[in-house]
Chains A and B, each alone.
Chain A
Amino acid sequence: MAAHGYDAVSDAPPAEIGEMELPHAHTWVGKYVWSQDAKVIAIQYGITATAIGLVALVLSILIRLQLGFPGAFSLIDPSSYLQHVSMHGMIMVVYLLTALFLGGFGNYLIPLMCGARDMAFPFLNMLSYWIYLLAVLILVASFFVDGGASGAGWTLYPPQAITEGTPGSGLGIVLMLVSLIVFIIGFTMGGLNYIVTVLQLRCRGMTLMRLPLTVWGIFMATVLALLAFPALLVASIMMIFDHLLGTSFFMPTMLTISEQRGHEGGSPLLFQHLFWFFGHPEVYIVALPAFGIVSDLIAVHARRAIFGYRMMVWALVAIGGLSFVVWAHHMYVSGMKPSFGFFFATTTLVIAVPTAIKVYNWILTLWKGNIRLTVPMLFALGFLFTFLNGGLSGLFLGNATVDVPLSDTYFVVGHFHMVMAVAPILVIFGAIYHWFPKMTGRMYNGPLAQVHFWVTFLGTYAIYYPMHFIGLAGVPRRYYAYGETAFVDESVMTLNAGITIAALVVALVQVLFLFNLVWSAFRGKPAGSNPWKATTLEWQTPETPPGHGNWGDELPVVYRWAYDYAVPDAREDYVPQTVPADSGPATVRDEKPLS
């Protein structure tokens, strides 16, 4: 793979559009460990994120065992329960979803879909992965220190995060904060690459409006991340100061069993503002790549141009912009100035409009399509249903008044799991099945993938949908047990046991998924270079899987957008982006009225 002489290309395009020198490695370690190839880095990100994600999955099972069968496991005491809850949340949101979407899919797909040889700064890109790994290791270390991992909830609100009475308030929380800081530094190096690659290294003819929505989604998410992560960075550093140096940024005067602490006058709400200034865009950092990817899955497998591409792009951009002015909708009952509620409820509900447009356009892409119910398509449909459900319940919580009785109940747990856990994860699964043939050259095992889809989709719905209703009935979240909460009905316990069983089944079937991936990577049927008959560039590579440098001797040249499916009078029902307009019988220039 290392042997291409890129310098020898006769018809070499100008250097600034993507021709670059690549650091070719010659040893196995250089190719697969200290690799600067974005595709290898992507897989490294993927494996690491999956590994730490499995830890979070096990933690969620422990949480469910306690909730479903309270009192059955004496080693899940209140402390470890809170630690499981906190670490589960933090790992899933930051170390799994963010890392997998941006570090994993971003690295694999951006250079390929833009028609670039690699990322703009391969060395920094490599560094980004290793720093991410370091962050993961620091986080894992916090499980083993004295006092254990932090049990402050993933929101890490001070004062409790660094006050006795909360598990892991000693070393655990410090390691958590350090890990986050390291993660953010590493992410910045990666994010820099994703943005610059999209802006600078697109191949000839690849205008912005010809980019697949996947790239748009990851690109916008990265923009958000680079502007929002600093808030978490600042908050983490300030909390470390408070904890280790005794400053009072967030820490007010308080009385605990070790008498009054030295702190005075700090503002816990200040932390919440900083945290959610990061925390809300974070939701979209996870959601926007999912939006982008699912658009492509739907277009390819429904064999139809994505409906309203321009609206889709602007909706992504609008959601990204608006996501910076909605953060305090997490704080309606936080004791902040009540008048903020008017502003934030309004901005929050306004953001529903571009989001709704995206949902309509996905469904209008199905409409009049020619829908192949492949496994990636099943996951995309599962996403649509789940996301619709979770998005609509978000309209409850975004509305300040409605949020008052529902906040901090299982309604919230149900909502955010639907919208930012299950929905993006379904997209991740769909995307993995979709691009698996490109990454390995082989097809996954169909029946196993079908089982995986059905159990995951139906199982997660059974887990999270009923949660909204026990939340409506007031059942509070982050409770170790409900014994002394008089209004929590016995029927809730029965439901909780049921949910736990569903969770166990869903967790088990993920083993099947991993087995399918590993087995198919070696034994699957050869898939060919473009099994889905897709138009985008990654399916037009000279080799499958693509080699280092992606494109062989010549960079691709693009003549059309990413969605030329079922173009009237074209020979096939798809026209790859690399086919010039005059090569086929016809292309469509006029907007056709809907009939």
Chain B
Amino acid sequence: MMTVTLIAIVALMATFLTWIVRQTINVQPWEATSTPDDGRGRLPSFLTTPRVGLIVVMAAITSLFALIISAYNGRMMIGSDWVSVDIPAILWGNTLVLVLSSMFLHLAWRASADGDRGAARVRLLLGGASALLFIAGQAVAWMQLRRSGLPLAVNPASAFFVLVTALHVLHLLGGLVAWVRAYARLEGASEPRRAEAGIGLCTIYWHFLLGIWLILFGLLLIT
């Protein structure tokens, strides 16, 4: 029942523990030095503080969705009352929109790195707009599901459908808050490169949520 979670957690913990052990093995901690020896324990420089923060958040979110998937599988195996949901066709479109959104953000990131404010602005706006479109599309999917006559209360499959998609959308909404900040930063900054870090963070998060969505969508499709 908890296999998916265990795999995810073990993978996360293993990465983390390997790093810890690499940093701590073969160290004689009681040895004092006359100069501060800095190298050890420092993360590589491309991992800036905000990026490390984002990685930590994404680890927690990974755990969250792994648990949901575990619960999904567990409930599906137990109940004889599981009626597979006919996936609303619009989900294919939504998926495409989310891919586009991710792509636009990535291009905006590149543009800001190149110092091209105009391109960055357009692409950032397109990215945000397509994210909003995705959310609207998901809402349409819920309404279609509701009209198709499988109310939440009767079928655990439709309840899970709403639960996982809603949680995913909530995380995307959280991302849009960061997106607004990145946009404001781009407008306010004297030099587009100053907004690069923020747009970059958004992009990484977008790709991450796209990955989560593809997994969830796959799960909904095969069950």
Direct contact of A and B (CB under 8 A): yes
Q: Is A582's beta carbon under 8 Å from chain B?
A: yes
Given A265-B79, A270-B75, are A580 and B32 also a contact pair (CB < 8 Å)? yes
B74 touches A270 (CB 8 A): yes
User: What are 29 inter-chain pairs, A to B, with CB distance below 8 A?
Assistant: A16-B48, A120-B53, A191-B56, A191-B60, A192-B56, A192-B57, A196-B56, A200-B43, A200-B52, A207-B40, A227-B13, A227-B63, A230-B61, A234-B64, A237-B163, A238-B163, A249-B156, A249-B160, A264-B81, A264-B154, A265-B156, A266-B156, A267-B75, A270-B74, A321-B13, A559-B33, A561-B32, A575-B32, A581-B33
Q: Is A121's beta carbon under 8 Å from chain B?
A: yes
Given A267-B74, A277-B5, are A226 and B60 also a contact pair (CB < 8 Å)? yes
A581 touches B34 (CB 8 A): yes
Contacts of B71 in A (CB 8 A): 234, 238, 249, 270, 274
Interface string of B133-158 (1 = CB under 8 A from A): 00000000000000000001110100
Given A234-B68, A324-B13, are A202 and B49 also a contact pair (CB < 8 Å)? no
Q: Is A560's beta carbon under 8 Å from chain B?
A: yes
Interface string of A422-438 (1 = CB under 8 A from B): 00000000000000000
B1 touches A560 (CB 8 A): no
CA gap between A589 and B154 in the complex, in Å = 70
Distance to closest chain A CB from B223 (angstroms): 15
CA gap between A561 and B36 in the complex, in Å = 11
Interface string of B14-38 (1 = CB under 8 A from A): 0011001101100111111111111
Q: Is B177's beta carbon under 8 Å from chain A?
A: no
Distance to closest chain B CB from A594 (angstroms): 15
A227 touches B12 (CB 8 A): yes
Give the total of B residues in contact with A, Cβ under 8 Å: 60
Q: Give 9 nearest A-B pairs by CB, closest first.
A: A205-B36, A560-B32, A246-B153, A230-B64, A247-B159, A581-B32, A209-B29, A265-B81, A265-B79
A205 touches B64 (CB 8 A): no
Q: Is A31's beta carbon under 8 Å from chain B?
A: no
A196 contact from B2, B23, B53, B64, Cβ within 8 A? B53
Given A207-B40, A314-B24, are A324 and B52 also a contact pair (CB < 8 Å)? no
Interface string of A99-135 (1 = CB under 8 A from B): 0000000000000000000001100000000000000
B74 touches A262 (CB 8 A): no
B36 touches A121 (CB 8 A): no
Interface residues of A in 544-583 (CB under 8 A from B): 557-561, 563-564, 575, 579-582
Q: Considering only CB atoms, which chain A residue lies closest to B167 in the complex? A: A237
Q: Is A72's beta carbon under 8 Å from chain B?
A: no
Contacts of A558 in B (CB 8 A): 36
Distance to closest chain A CB from B21 (angstroms): 8
Q: Is A176's beta carbon under 8 Å from chain B?
A: no
CA gap between A21 and B159 in the complex, in Å = 47
A270 contact from B1, B20, B37, B53, Cβ within 8 A? B1
Q: Considering only CB atoms, which chain A residue lies closest to B12 in the complex? A: A227
Given A267-B75, A270-B75, are A321 and B30 also a contact pair (CB < 8 Å)? no
CA gap between A226 and B60 in the complex, in Å = 5
Q: Is B59's beta carbon under 8 Å from chain A?
A: yes
Contacts of A247 in B (CB 8 A): 152-153, 156, 159
Contacts of B31 in A (CB 8 A): 560, 587, 589
Give chain A's interface residues, CB within 8 Å of chain B.
Answer: 16-17, 120-121, 188, 191-192, 195-196, 199-202, 204-205, 207-210, 223, 226-231, 233-234, 237-238, 241, 245-249, 262, 264-267, 270, 273-274, 277, 305, 309-310, 313-314, 317, 320-321, 324-325, 557-561, 563-564, 575, 579-582, 587-589, 591
Given A199-B52, A589-B31, are A265 and B153 also a contact pair (CB < 8 Å)? no
Among the interface residues B28, B32, B64, which one has the most CB atoms of the partner chain A within 10 A?
A: B32
Q: Is B67's beta carbon under 8 Å from chain A?
A: yes
Contacts of B167 in A (CB 8 A): 237
CA gap between A201 and B52 in the complex, in Å = 11
Q: A201-B49, A230-B67, A267-B75 are in contact. List 16 more A-B contacts (CB 8 A).
A: A16-B49, A192-B53, A196-B56, A226-B56, A226-B63, A227-B60, A229-B60, A230-B63, A231-B5, A234-B64, A249-B75, A267-B78, A314-B24, A321-B13, A564-B32, A580-B32
B34 touches A262 (CB 8 A): no
Contacts of B156 in A (CB 8 A): 247-249, 265-266
Q: Considering only CB atoms, which chain B residue lies closest to A325 in the complex? A: B6
Among the interface residues A120, A234, A246, A267, which one has the most CB atoms of the partner chain B within 10 A?
A: A234
Among the interface residues B48, B63, B152, which one has the most CB atoms of the partner chain A within 10 A?
A: B63
